């Protein structure tokens, strides 16, 4: 079946029937090309939206203080709730689920300088665990540690955009240098890149919360307590959230049902929502993709049918000259397989090429970023099309091989 002579025979047939070859090949190449583009776009959409999620562990819970929205136990609506270090300590000691916990203050943007370079950056005082909760990606140095907290060290971890602004030039060493934050000097101990592509997240400076309270606020207030829930399942996470609410409600005397007194952001819930959204999008893409493949298969089958019909007389001649039925079948099928295989490969390469071009030259937008196609899916789609082409060729080839030569010769 795989002797060189047969390949030469197929090659000469293909070479001399260019239009037919092109039409067969085109429907296959187009099907694969579209599938790759579809899968790639779907992934691009998913990557884009996922990057909008911003940083933060997928199992993170952020609780921020707010103003009461309900009268409770004689206390009026509109009362400001203020968390303190004690809330953090109680939460840490009573809640058993969280594996990382941090308190945070909101200091807002502060004038920051290094030598003659100035900038206004978001100062974020926190505990060392926040590095984990926020999934900080360290480029240089380290994140805050417990000694920074207990010794009230003036340490700072700066975003890469901060470094770029204050320390001109990419190669300038920032580690060990002292930056001036609102009048106080802080030593740079680390440089980070936030997981989020959001620019603001890269313009932050993390400092120890204890130092910030002593230097900037002179109080024990904190604005936010956040933690990650480890490997807890959704029910356990819900229980943790309820427990935190009741602890804080009890300590600050507000109604546990009051949704404005404190604001809870449960990221895992958001992730769940988006996961189901993307499951929907992926299903949609698959339905269209399978539709495209089916159209390709129908196209190949159609053309193969016409090809065999068109070649009936030739088949008759070949049979009169001594071609056995099996040699006729294998001739037509091998031709079909060669054409669909080759065309499928071309479609694959073109599709991946277009995706690469988009990836390189199109700026990623909020909702579209890094399109990429699952290669194994593309390969299996190609194999499927080749298989379909073979089957599509097999049935009519079989019929043609069975026809008595006299009938085939009569065909015009």
Query: Rounded distance, CA 323 to CA 315, Å?
Result: 8
Is position 307 an interface residue for another protein (rule: CB under 8 A)?
no
Is position 298 an interface residue for another protein (rule: CB under 8 A)?
no
Could you say which residues in the range 324-353 bind another protein, by CB under 8 A? 324-327
Nearer residue to another protein within complex by CB, 154 or 318: 318
Closest distance of CB 287 from another protein, Å: 41
* Under 8 Å between Cβ of 43 and 210: no
Is position 12 an interface residue for another protein (rule: CB under 8 A)?
yes
Nearer residue to another protein within complex by CB, 93 or 321: 321
- According to DSSP, residue 156 is labeled E
Is position 313 an interface residue for another protein (rule: CB under 8 A)?
yes
Segment lying near another protein (by CB under 8 A), choices 9-17, 175-183, 246-254, 343-351: 9-17
| Residue 1: other Cβ atoms inside 10 A | 8
| Residue 233 neighbours by CB under 8 Å, 6+ apart | none
Query: Rounded distance, CA 289 to CA 377, Å?
Result: 11
Segment lying near another protein (by CB under 8 A), choices 8-16, 25-33, 66-74, 257-265: 8-16
Position among 238, 314, 370, 372 found at the interface with another protein (CB under 8 A): 314
Closest distance of CB 21 from another protein, Å: 12
E-strand ranges in 209-297 read 221-222, 224-228, 262-266
Is position 310 an interface residue for another protein (rule: CB under 8 A)?
no
Q: What are phi and psi of 217, to 5 degrees?
A: -105, -25
What is the size of the binding site for another protein (CB under 8 A)?
Answer: 27
- According to DSSP, residue 363 is labeled P
Is position 21 an interface residue for another protein (rule: CB under 8 A)?
no
Query: Rounded distance, CA 30 to CA 7, Å?
Result: 25
Segment lying near another protein (by CB under 8 A), choices 12-20, 82-90, 122-130, 140-148: 12-20
Is position 140 an interface residue for another protein (rule: CB under 8 A)?
no
| Residue 320 neighbours by CB under 8 Å, 6+ apart | 405, 409
State both tokens at 90: 């109680």
Q: What are phi and psi of 404, to 5 degrees?
A: -65, 140
* Of 210, 214, 193, the residue nearest 145 (C-alpha): 210
Is position 76 an interface residue for another protein (rule: CB under 8 A)?
no
Site string for another protein, 366-405 (x = CB under 8 A): -----------------------------------xx-xx
Position among 170, 176, 321, 363 found at the interface with another protein (CB under 8 A): 321
State both tokens at 325: 């039925």
Closest distance of CB 397 from another protein, Å: 14
- According to DSSP, residue 82 is labeled -
**Residues lying near another protein in the complex (CB under 8 A):** 5, 8-9, 12-13, 16-17, 313-314, 316-327, 401-402, 404-406, 409
């Amino acid at each position: 079946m795989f002797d060189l002579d047969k390949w030469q025979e197929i090659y000469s047939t293909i070479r001399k029937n260019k239009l037919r070859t092109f039409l067969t090949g085109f429907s296959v190449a187009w099907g694969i090309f579209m599938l790759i583009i579809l899968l790639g776009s779907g992934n691009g959409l998913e990557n884009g939206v996922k990057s909008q999620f911003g940083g933060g562990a997928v199992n993170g819970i952020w609780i921020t203080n707010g103003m009461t929205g309900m009268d409770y136990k004689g206390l009026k609506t509109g009362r400001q709730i203020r968390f303190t270090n004690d809330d953090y300590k109680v939460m840490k000691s009573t809640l058993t689920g969280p594996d990382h916990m941090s308190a945070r203050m909101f200091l807002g943007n502060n004038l920051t300088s290094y030598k003659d370079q100035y900038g206004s950056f978001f100062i974020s005082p926190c505990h060392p665990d926040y590095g984990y909760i926020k999934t900080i990606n360290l480029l240089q140095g380290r994140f805050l540690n417990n000694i920074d907290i207990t010794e009230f060290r003036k340490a700072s971890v700066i975003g890469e955009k901060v470094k770029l602004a204050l320390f001109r030039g990419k190669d300038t060493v920032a580690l060990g240098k002292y930056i001036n934050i609102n009048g106080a000097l802080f030593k740079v101990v680390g440089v980070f890149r936030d997981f989020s592509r959001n620019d603001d997240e890269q313009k932050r400076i993390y400092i120890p919360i204890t130092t910030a309270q002593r230097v900037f606020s002179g109080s024990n207030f904190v604005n936010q307590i956040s933690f990650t829930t480890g490997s807890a399942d959704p029910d356990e996470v819900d229980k943790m959230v309820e427990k935190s609410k009741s602890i804080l409600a009890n300590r600050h005397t507000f109604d546990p049902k009051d949704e404005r007194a404190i604001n809870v952001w449960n990221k895992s819930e958001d992730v769940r929502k988006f996961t189901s959204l993307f499951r929907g999008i992926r299903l949609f893409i698959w339905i269209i993709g399978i539709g495209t493949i089916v159209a390709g298969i129908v196209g190949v089958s159609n053309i193969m049918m016409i090809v065999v019909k068109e070649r009936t007389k030739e088949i008759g001649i070949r049979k009169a000259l001594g071609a056995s039925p099996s040699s006729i079948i294998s001739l037509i099928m091998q031709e079909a397989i060669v054409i669909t295989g080759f065309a499928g490969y071309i479609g694959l390469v073109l599709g991946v090429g277009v995706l690469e071009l988009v990836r390189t030259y199109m700026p990623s937008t909020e909702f579209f970023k890094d399109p990429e196609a699952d290669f194994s899916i593309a390969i299996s789609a190609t194999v499927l099309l080749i298989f379909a082409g073979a089957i599509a060729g097999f049935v009519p080839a079989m019929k043609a091989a069975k026809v008595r030569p006299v009938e085939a010769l009569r065909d015009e």
